Amino acid sequence: NKKVRNQLGGYVTHLYNRIQNGVVKGIHIKAHEEEKEKNESFIPKVGVLDVEKIIVDSVTYGMIEHYNIEGDSGQLDVNIHILSNFKD
């Protein structure tokens, strides 16, 4: 009947709008799957941890010193400004 058709049409329109905005759980579209596979297989040229200096705040640096974690002392740069600018 007409009521059921309108409900079904409204639900399909709702799903279609959600699909346009992004991936919808439980609905698999080939284009979304290809995009997901492409993003998963991406390998960056420079890794996040492949840096000469790692900037940490004073709390993290204190934890590193407390647990006697050994490493090149030139690799850590304490950033005190993060905590001094933070207000409760």
In a domain, 64, yes or no: yes
The DSSP symbol for 48 reads: T
| Residues 9 and 36 both lie in one domain | yes
Q: Could you report the per-residue pLDDT of 31-43, keeping only the tens digit for each? A: 777 887 888 888 8
In a domain, 45, yes or no: no
| Residues 59 and 36 both lie in one domain | no
Does the pTM surpass 0.75? The reply is no
Is residue 61 a contact partner of residue 79, using CB atoms and an 8 Å limit?
A: no
Helix (H) / strand (E) containing 22:
none
- Range(s) of the domain holding residue 77: 54-85
| Residues 36 and 12 both lie in one domain | yes
Q: Could you report the per-residue pLDDT of 49-78, keeping only the tens digit for each? A: 666 777 778 888 888 888 877 665 555 655
| Residues 58 and 29 both lie in one domain | no
Cβ neighbours of 47 (radius 10 Å): 8
Q: How many domains does the chain have?
A: 2
d(CA 62, CA 78): 10
